[in-house]
Amino acid sequence: MKLLRIQLACELRVLARNGEQLLLILGIPLLLLSFFSNVDILPTSGQSSVNFLLPGIVALAIMSTAMVSLGIATGFERSYQVLKRLGATPLGVPRLVLAKALSVLVVELVQVTLLISLAQVFGADLGGLNIAKLALAIALGTLAFSGVGLSLAGRLRGEINLAAQNALYLLLLLIGGIVFPLQEFPSWLHWVGRIAPSGALADVMRDVFSRTSVHGASSLVVLLCWAVAAQLSAFKLFRWN
C-alpha cells in the first residue's frame, strides 16, 4: 500500500507539471463546454446546448485522460527508460499499473466534478443524472480508452506515439457525436460513429444524464466490447522497454 501511495503521488506530481497535458484534459473540455453552451450554433435536436453538450464533453474528458494523456505520458516514459528503471525497484508491475489507473481515476473525478459544476452554472438540467450509471460509464470508458492508448504507447516511439494519439483523439472527437449530433451525419458515418468507442461512450453518457434511456443497452454493449478488446490488445502489444 505504501509503495502504491508513493508511486501514485509521483504520477500525479508529474502530471501536474505537464502544462500540455493539463490543457488537454482540463482546458479543452471546459472551453468547449463554455463556448458551445453560450454560443448557440450547434444543431442540438431541440435540447438546450448545455444539456446536449455535457454528456459528450464528459466522454471527451475521459477519452483525453484515459487515452491521450496516459498514452502519451507512458510512451515517453518508455522512451526515457523510466519504466525500465522502475522495473528494477520493489514497486513491481501490478502496483505501477494500479498507480497509473488510480491517477487516471483521480483526474477523471476532478474533470467530471468541474464539468458538472460548470454545466450547472450554465443552467443544465441534471435531474436525470444517475450516479451509479455514471460510475459504470466512467469505468468502461476508462478501460476502453486506456487500452487503446497503451496499445499505441507500447509499440510506437515517443514522438510518433504523440502524433498518433493526438490524431486519433481528433478523429474520435469528430466522429463520436461529442460536439455534433450523430443524426446530422451521413448515414454510413452515423453508424461508424455509433460503433466507435467515443460514440458509444457519448451515447452511454447521454443515457446517464437523461431522464429516459435513449440508446438502450446497445451502446453499453459496444462500449463493453471496446473495453475488453482494447485491454486485451494492450496486454498483447505493450512493451515496458
Partner 1 sequence: MSSALHATESVGLSVSHLVIKYGDITAVDHVSFTAQPGRVTVILGPNGAGKTSTIEACEGFLAPTSGSVQVLGLNPFLQRKQLNRKMGVMLQEGGIYPSARVAELVRQYCALYGNGVDADVLISRVGLQSVASTTYRRLSGGEKQRLSLALALAARPHIIFLDEPTSGIDVNGRDLVRHIIRELRDSGCCVLVATHELDEAERIADDVLIFHRGNIVASGTLDELRSGREEIRFRSTSRIDLHSLSTTLGLPVEQTRLHEFTVAGTSDARVIVQLTDWAKANNVELGDIGAGSQRLDDVFRRLTAESAS
- Please report, as ranges, the residues that interact with partner 1 according to CB under 8 A: 2-3, 6-7, 10, 13-14, 17-18, 77, 80-82, 84-85, 87-92, 241
Helix, strand or coil, per DSSP, at residue 179: coil
Least spacing, CB of residue 81 vs partner 1, in Å: 4
Say how far apart CA 209 and CA 57 lie, in whole Å: 12
Start-end of H helices in 18-157: 19-22, 28-38, 49-63, 70-79, 82-86, 93-121, 131-153
With beta carbons less than 8 A apart as the criterion, state whether 33 and 57 touch: yes
Nearer to partner 1, 92 or 128 (CB): 92
Considering beta carbons, is residue 120 or 241 the nearer one to partner 1?
241
Q: How far is the CB of 169 from partner 1 (least distance, A)?
A: 22
Closest CB 131 distance from partner 1, rounded Å: 35
At 50, the amino acid letter reads V
Closest separation in Å from C-beta 77 to partner 1: 7
Q: Nearer Cβ to partner 1, position 3 or 228?
A: 3
d(CA 58, CA 55): 5
Query: Given the complex with partner 1, which of 17 and 236 has the nearer CB atom?
Result: 17
Q: Residue 23, Cβ neighbours under 10 Å: how many? A: 12
